[in-house]
Structure 1
């Protein structure tokens, strides 16, 4: 495997070249009824815009640490790949006071204020909507990201051997993320291109982010990412598995 596909961002670029029209992330929030489906191309466009915001407007540089105070959500997946594109470290649930930048959902704004660097807030509203009233001291992601460029080029090449991801205190380089995600595939029931995994796991562990993003991306599959899955009973979950043509599941019930 060459350097171009030894980072999560490299995996996304390979997916864009192979089949940009196929689905990549289908997101459900069972507390609100939201459903969003993103093709590889649409997801890649969000990643490019977010990476441009991160590198340009926010001034992030390779090696900087970004505390992501976000749940399992399609926009969190976008931020994880944007961080990989720029070469910054994505620290899921990390300490904002120790981070260079913080990206927060609506429920963690108070904690996020401990960051002395740039602060970005996500409303996590349906269709990527903005806050009705922007939080003081934060950049509203939904306001700033639409105007960003649709193509992204890093100022510096991203080294696959540099630290890329921190989850629950464990650290991985970009190359290790790709290797671990590929190795996880069989155990998650991902048998190759076209496999479709439903994940109800939170993004607070390697297992959660592997099932909810990295492993489907690494194997040419797709993920049905479900937040608040406990709102569904077993019968409703079975209907979703059937309607979404799911081939494997990773849920905690």
Structure 2
């Protein structure tokens, strides 16, 4: 394995060096009509700001555990790469009471209050909008992240052999995430420039791989669709054509 591509954050840095202008994540919410397209450079900027928030304001350190209570969403993808940048272990749907930090959407605020550490809430509104009324006891991500630095440097090197992701009861190191993402990309036939449309949730490895890691590792991109069943067959066909989709995971 290439030493400079041993963590998910390494994959993003590689993509940024290769072609920063190409699309990386195109997000649709078919319940609201939202569409957001992020180039590699724009996505990387969000990751850097989020990693600075995580490491600086939230005082997260390598080895800390973060319970991620978010759906398949472009901001969820940002948090996954920000945690990789800092060395924080992400537990998908993890128990907030057992976590050092929790990141939650609006539908899981009550469960997230069990976390005794830092709590971050995302409104998941179009264009990354903030809560109309910030939830008590939580940092409003949309309020705090814009002012963070556009460049990120970890206080300590990230160990690719340290735990990075827990999903479906399986714990994976950063290097294992990269390895599995590469294998999945090969099985799906993804290559540089591939566009994978994924309607899978982020609650399993398959969903995380199709919705982020495999396209990133293959130097491709993802069309990430939330609430895809809301879309008609004709609407899906038009999206596949307009977004130049080459592969699907639905």
Given the two structures, how large is their TM-score scaled by the length of structure 2? Answer: 0.99
Alpha-carbon deviation of 1:124? 0.2
Q: What is the SS of the residue equivalent to 1:151?
A: coil
- Is residue 240 from structure 1 mapped to residue 239 from structure 2 by the alignment? yes
Tell whether the 8 Å contact from 1:3 to 1:160 is kept in structure 2 after alignment.
Answer: no
Alpha-carbon deviation of 1:234? 1.3
Equivalenced residues, count: 250
Q: What is the SS of the residue equivalent to 2:77?
A: helix
CA distance in 2, matches of 1:238, 1:47: 31
Q: What is the SS of the residue equivalent to 1:180?
A: helix
1:87 is matched with which residue?
87
Alpha-carbon deviation of 1:168? 1.6
CA distance in 2, matches of 1:116, 1:173: 25
Q: Which runs of 4+ in 1 moved over 6 A?
A: none
Tell whether the 8 Å contact from 1:189 to 1:247 is kept in structure 2 after alignment.
Answer: no
1:170 is matched with which residue?
170
Alpha-carbon deviation of 1:218? 0.2
1:207 is matched with which residue?
206
2:248 is matched with which residue?
249
CA distance in 1, matches of 2:185, 2:85: 23
2:105 is matched with which residue?
105
Alpha-carbon deviation of 1:197? 0.1
2:156 is matched with which residue?
156
2:12 is matched with which residue?
12
Tell whether the 8 Å contact from 1:68 to 1:91 is kept in structure 2 after alignment.
Answer: yes
- Is residue 114 from structure 1 mapped to residue 114 from structure 2 by the alignment? yes
Quote the RMSD (CA, aligned, Å).
Answer: 0.7
Alpha-carbon deviation of 1:140? 0.1
Alpha-carbon deviation of 1:186? 2.9
Q: What is the SS of the residue equivalent to 2:164?
A: strand
